[in-house]
Amino acid sequence: MSYDKREEDVVTNLSNNTHIDHIVEEALANPNRRRLMASGAAGAAALSFMGLTGCGGSDSPSAPAPAPVAPPAGPVKATALGFPAIAKSLADTVTVPPGYQASVLIRGGDPINAATPAFLNDGTDSAASAAFRAGDHHDGMHFFGMTTTGAYDPNASDRGILCINHEAITPNFLHPNGVTSVAGVRTVNEEVLKELNVHGVSIVEVARSGNSWSYVRNSVYNRRITTNTDMILSGPAAGTPFMVTRYSANGTRTRGTVNNCANGYTPWGTYLTCEENYAGYFRRITATDNVNRTPKELANFNRNGVAGTGREGWATAIATDPNDTTFSRWNAEKLGNSTDGSDDFRNVANTFGWIVEIDPFNTTSAPRKRTAMGRFAHEGAWPAKAVAGQPLVWYMGDDSRGEYIYKYVSDANWDPADATRGLAAGDKYLDAGKLYVARFNADGTGDWLELRFGNGPVVSTYAPYAFANQADVLINARHAADALGATKMDRPEWGAVDPFTSSVYMTLTNNNSTLRTLASTDAANPRFYNDPRTNGTAQRGNPNGHIIRWIEVASNSAALQFGWDIFLFGARATQDTRTVNLSGLTAANDFSSPDGLWFGRNGILWIQTDDGAYTDVTNCMLLAAIPGGVRDGATVTVANVDGTNTKNVTTYVGAQLGETRLRRFLVGPKDCEITGLAESADGKALFVNIQHPGEETSAAAFAARTFNSNWPNGGTSRPLSATIVITRTDGGVIGV
Q: Would you tell me which residues interact with ligand FEO (CB under 6 A)?
A: 167, 261, 276, 379, 399, 493
Query: What is the smallest separation between the CB atom of 473 and Ca ion, expressed in angstroms?
Result: 26
Query: What is the smallest separation between the CB atom of 501 and ligand FEO, expressed in angstroms?
Result: 25
Taking the least distance from each CB to Ca ion, the nearer of 119 and 376 is 376
Query: What is the smallest separation between the CB atom of 277 and Ca ion, expressed in angstroms?
Result: 10
Strand partners, 160: 145, 206
Q: Quick check: 418 binds Ca ion (CB under 5 A)?
A: no
Taking a C-beta distance cutoff of 8 angstroms, is the pair 174, 692 a contact? no
Q: How far apart are CA 153 and CA 322, in angstroms?
A: 47
Query: What is the smallest separation between the CB atom of 392 and Ca ion, expressed in angstroms?
Result: 24
Taking the least distance from each CB to ligand FEO, the nearer of 235 and 380 is 380
Which are the contacts of 576, defined by CB distance < 8 A and separation ≥ 6? none
Q: Which does 403 bind (CB under 5 to 8 A by kind): Ca ion, ligand FEO, none?
A: none
Query: What is the smallest separation between the CB atom of 490 and ligand FEO, expressed in angstroms?
Result: 13
Query: What is the smallest separation between the CB atom of 137 and ligand FEO, expressed in angstroms?
Result: 9
Taking the least distance from each CB to ligand FEO, the nearer of 676 and 683 is 676
Taking a C-beta distance cutoff of 8 angstroms, is the pair 626, 663 a contact? no
Taking the least distance from each CB to ligand FEO, the nearer of 275 and 552 is 275
Q: How far apart are CA 586 and CA 387, in angstroms?
A: 39
Query: What is the smallest separation between the CB atom of 429 and ligand FEO, expressed in angstroms?
Result: 25
Q: Which of 418, 610, 611, 682 binds Ca ion (CB under 5 A)?
A: 610
Across 214-235, b (16+ Cβ under 10 Å) vs e yields ebeeebebbbbbbbbbebbbbb
Q: Which does 167 bind (CB under 5 to 8 A by kind): Ca ion, ligand FEO, none?
A: ligand FEO
Q: Which does 276 bind (CB under 5 to 8 A by kind): Ca ion, ligand FEO, none?
A: ligand FEO
DSSP assignment of 190-257 equals HHHHHHHHHSEEEEEEEEEETTEEEE-TT-TT-EEE-TT-EEEEESTTTTSGGG-BTTBTTS-EEE--
Residue with CB nearest ligand FEO?
261
Query: What is the smallest separation between the CB atom of 263 and ligand FEO, expressed in angstroms?
Result: 11
Q: Which does 21 bind (CB under 5 to 8 A by kind): ligand FEO, Ca ion, none?
A: none
Taking a C-beta distance cutoff of 8 angstroms, is the pair 725, 102 a contact? yes
Taking the least distance from each CB to ligand FEO, the nearer of 23 and 506 is 506
Taking the least distance from each CB to Ca ion, the nearer of 403 and 610 is 610
Query: What is the smallest separation between the CB atom of 399 and Ca ion, expressed in angstroms?
Result: 7
The count of chain residues that interact with Ca ion, using the rule CB under 5 A, is 3
Taking the least distance from each CB to ligand FEO, the nearer of 140 and 600 is 140
Binders of Ca ion in range 490-509 (CB under 5 A): 493
Q: Which stretch binds Ca ion (CB under 5 A): 62-70, 158-166, 173-181, 605-613?
A: 605-613
Taking the least distance from each CB to Ca ion, the nearer of 352 and 494 is 494
Q: Quick check: 403 binds Ca ion (CB under 5 A)?
A: no
Query: ∠ CA 157-159-160 to the nearest 5 degrees?
Result: 95
Q: Quick check: 275 binds Ca ion (CB under 5 A)?
A: no
Taking a C-beta distance cutoff of 8 angstroms, is the pair 282, 306 a contact? yes
Which are the contacts of 539, defined by CB distance < 8 A and separation ≥ 6? 512, 530, 531, 532, 533, 613
Phi, psi of 23 (to 5 degrees): -65, -40
Q: Quick check: 595 binds Ca ion (CB under 5 A)?
A: yes
Q: Which stretch binds Ca ion (CB under 5 A): 83-91, 114-122, 489-497, 637-645?
A: 489-497
E strands within 323-453?
A: 355-358, 368-370, 378-383, 391-398, 401-403, 405-413, 433-440, 445-450
Query: What is the smallest separation between the CB atom of 595 and ligand FEO, expressed in angstroms?
Result: 6
Q: How far apart are CA 528 and CA 524, in angstroms?
A: 12
Q: Which does 333 bind (CB under 5 to 8 A by kind): ligand FEO, Ca ion, none?
A: none
DSSP assignment of 337-368 equals --SSSTTS-TTGGGG-SSEEEE-TT-TTPPPE
User: Judging by DSSP bridges, how do beta strands 405-413 and 391-398 pair with one another?
Assistant: antiparallel
Which are the contacts of 210, defined by CB distance < 8 A and separation ≥ 6? none
DSSP classification of residue 179: -
Q: How far apart are CA 243 and CA 251, in angstroms?
A: 4
Residue closest to 600 by CA, chosen among 684, 719, 698, 528? 684
Taking the least distance from each CB to Ca ion, the nearer of 458 and 686 is 686
Taking the least distance from each CB to ligand FEO, the nearer of 239 and 676 is 676
Residue numbers at the binding site for Ca ion (CB under 5 A): 493, 595, 610
